[in-house]
Structure 1
Amino acid sequence: MFSGSIPALATPMRDGDFDESAYRRFISWQIDNGTNALVPCGTTGESATLDNDEHHKVIAVCAEEAAGRVPVIAGAGSNDTQTALWHIKEAQAAGADALLLVAPYYNRPSQAGLLAHFSYLAERADLPIVLYNVPGRTVTDILPETVIELHRRFPDKIVALKDASGDLTRVVTQRMGAPDLCQLSGDDPLVLAGYALGQVGCISVTANVAPKLCADFHAAAAAGDYATARELNERLYPLHRAMFADASPAPAKYALNKLFDWFSDEVRLPIVPCSDAAKAQVDAAMEIAGIA
């Protein structure tokens, strides 16, 4: 469930609404191209601008369309513990296989607050949990000692970490303190180095656009075939950079619209469509990757 290429799925919109038909086609295309698991309602899925009904529907549609072909790791976090619990219950009822729980944002809890928040949710969840640490977005940073303690308290429940801190030294610290914790990258450009240190996959933005290349890259890295992994990484690297040439997920949606006319590049405010400069960077990166 927690390894390889795992896209944080973009959520297609059309005329302001969730485009369910496009999402179903997108999910099947992802699975057909070797994606190992799916994350609905992550950051790239614009979870911050989905209302609660939409949030729960997106997870339900993803689970239904995946139909057991690959695991579904549902974004269910919140900066309000009770809202996170509501998302958890809805994701479980919808048929998700696991939960992705982001660090509470904006209200900036202490490490003691993080321990209390995630412990409360772990005690009440029925599915395995992937912690999601992305301090560049949340300000709150789940420090390695907190990750280790949460895994120690709930070894069968808090089983994985998506780390988008950008600090690869944490992989070693967390391996030494919690050898059984599954560690995933949240930063596409750092994945190859992460494998050498003990990460086993990535919850990815780039895999939205290049699922087969990403799946092949992860398979090579997992097998220790670093010559192939380096070659694929260098094809993907400009695309990793281009996915953040403008506010995400606008570049990913622009690229998907280039690939498929049924996937709109529409985003929700306060995100706006790609600038011309960002589009040019995406165009060039897709050519280098061989997916233009």
Structure 2
Amino acid sequence: MVNDVLTGAFAPVVTPFLSDGRPDVDRFIAHCRWLLAQGAGLAPFGTNSEANSMSALERMALLDALIDAGLPPARMLPGTGACSAPEAAQLSRHAVQRGCAGVLMLPPFFYKGISDDGLYAFYAEVIARIADPRLRLYLYHIPALSGVPISHGVIERLLRDFPGIVVGIKDSSGDWDNLRTMLERFPELAIFPASESFISRTRPLGARGCISATVNINPGPISRLVTQWDGPEGQVLQAGVDRVRQIAQARPMIAALKEVLAEGLGEPGWRRVRAPLVGLAPEAAQALHAELAEAGFKL
């Protein structure tokens, strides 16, 4: 049994930017403090962090800023995926050396049609380059964006050859059958669905929580659902977080999350995204806020 894996609701932390395009370090730290205070964990440099629009140096500098500001690395699962094994290893080694609980690693996402042997070889090379027994690697299965599915065969080989190193996976496939099969087939794996909408179905099967975009704006209720899914308020909590999720994901998610933060905090700078993304149009933003207000949502 793995006994040092993470549990809870984790936010792929949205990254604020200054008017000149640089990451807004102070606002980033403040957002992460608020997420932790609401009971959530931090998964910076995930998909909704715009991580693949950032350099490795920017990602490492932001991680350093969080930890140097006193935020606990034991509640951090930074994204360290890259198309090259040396860069993925560099990002991961840095996170391990800073004491992070684990790293969340995309497959190499440029080449398509990769064989299981090739994908296994990539992860094996990254692990060898890091060469640190403290590494806790969480795979990141998001085939709709990466174009590179992580098959059950690859998971089985990695668990066999790197026990205690490969410890978990985020499943962003949205495929209930795949998620349920992984929970049944790999009970030793810390499995995190990418949506809080799966919590009540997956917690009884052993899922550890979720790593979800909307934790950025709804951390308290989602965190409570992870621990109280089977309590008297479980169904009410599930219905509430589902409604917020449905409203947010009906728009471009990153722009929607930043719009909610900008409006709720009175900080227009939150609306900035990096090209090639664009923010919500004013009419789309108005509709978003109207729907959230109708649902009783408050940041």
Same fold (TM over 0.5): yes
Cα distance per residue 1:11-31 (max 9 Å; x no partner): 111211111111111111111
Could you list the runs of 5+ residues in structure 1 that have no partner in the other structure? none
Closer, same or farther: CA 4–250 of 1 in aligned 2, 3 Å = same
Distance 2:115 2:287 in 1: 39
Cα distance per residue 1:218-266 (max 9 Å; x no partner): 1212xx22x5222112112232123333323110000111121346211
Q: Does 1:141 align with 2:173?
A: no
Q: Which amino acid counterpart does residue 178 of structure 1 have in structure 2?
A: F
Distance 1:71 1:176 in 2: 26
Q: CA deviation at 1:134?
A: 0.3
- Alpha-carbon contact 1:151-1:178 (below 8 Å) kept: no
- Alpha-carbon contact 1:59-1:96 (below 8 Å) kept: no
Q: 2:23 aligned to 14, 18, 24, which one? A: 18
Distance 2:296 2:165 in 1: 38
Deviates more, 1:245-254 or 1:87-96: 87-96
Distance 2:126 2:243 in 1: 38
Q: Tell me the equivalent position of 1:228.
A: 233
Q: Which amino acid counterpart does residue 137 of structure 2 have in structure 1?
A: I
Q: Does 1:88 align with 2:92?
A: yes
Q: 1:203 aligned to 184, 189, 211, which one? A: 211
* Counterpart mapping for 1:1-292 below 5 A: 1-15=5-19, 16-35=21-40, 37-65=41-69, 67-68=71-72, 70-108=74-112, 109-125=114-130, 126=132, 127-221=135-229, 224-225=230-231, 227-262=232-267, 264-276=270-282, 278-287=284-293, 288-291=295-298
Distance 2:9 2:274 in 1: 26
- Alpha-carbon contact 1:66-1:72 (below 8 Å) kept: no
Cα distance per residue 1:78-102 (max 9 Å; x no partner): 1211211121122233442211101
Cα distance per residue 1:153-207 (max 9 Å; x no partner): 2120000010011122223432343221111111333333222433121111111
> 2:167 aligns to what SS in structure 1?
strand
> 1:149 aligns to what SS in structure 2?
helix
Distance 1:243 1:123 in 2: 40
Distance 1:274 1:54 in 2: 25
Aligned residues: 288
How many percent identity over aligned positions? Answer: 22
Q: CA deviation at 1:69?
A: 7.2
Tell me how large the CA RMSD over aligned residues is: 2.0
Q: CA deviation at 1:285?
A: 4.5
Closer, same or farther: CA 4–275 of 1 in aligned 2, 3 Å = same
Could you list the runs of 5+ residues in structure 2 that have no partner in the other structure? none
Q: CA deviation at 1:289?
A: 4.5
Deviates more, 1:265-274 or 1:254-263: 254-263
Distance 1:228 1:146 in 2: 39
Distance 2:111 2:228 in 1: 41
Closer, same or farther: CA 188–284 of 1 in aligned 2, 3 Å = farther
Per the normalisation by structure 1, the TM-score is 0.91
Distance 1:4 1:280 in 2: 32
Q: CA deviation at 1:281?
A: 4.5
